Amino acid sequence: MELGDLFSFDKKIAPSIIKPIYWIGLVLIVFVNVVYFFFGFGKLFTVGFFTGVWDMLAAIVTIVFGVLGLRIATELCLAIFEIHDKTASNSTTQI
């Protein structure tokens, strides 16, 4: 991809950007929830035992479902671009 492709709209840049956005989102989900897990661990001794355990379990569940949801959203975006490419190529060949 060249700089001129950004302004010409001849190539799509979104499919090539989706994968790095996925990895950045994955790192952010894991990092934020690991921090939240340790805050929950700190709450075990300061606020209350069950509050800390609840926060720690919530962090683990959020990591699992956050990563799963991010993966599904990413695959959905890529599938939409693939469907568009296939239908656009079929419509141009029929003319």
pLDDT in tens, 42-85: 998 898 999 999 999 999 999 999 999 999 999 999 999 889 88
Is 11 a domain residue? no
- Decide: helix, strand or coil at residue 26: helix
Is 46 inside any structural domain? yes
Residue 42: give the domain boundaries: 17-81
Whether 21 maps to a domain, the answer reads yes
In a domain, 31, yes or no: yes
Among residues 77, 61, 83, 72, the alpha carbon closest in space to that of 16 is found at 77
In a domain, 63, yes or no: yes
Is residue 58 in a domain?
Answer: yes
Evaluate whether 59 touches 37 at the Cβ level (below 8 Å): yes
Number of domains in the chain: 1
pTM here is 0.76
| Residue pair 29/74 in contact by the 8 Å Cβ criterion | no
- Residue with the bigger pLDDT between 9 and 20: it is 20
- Residue 53, domain member (yes or no): yes
Question: Does residue 23 fall inside a structural domain?
Answer: yes
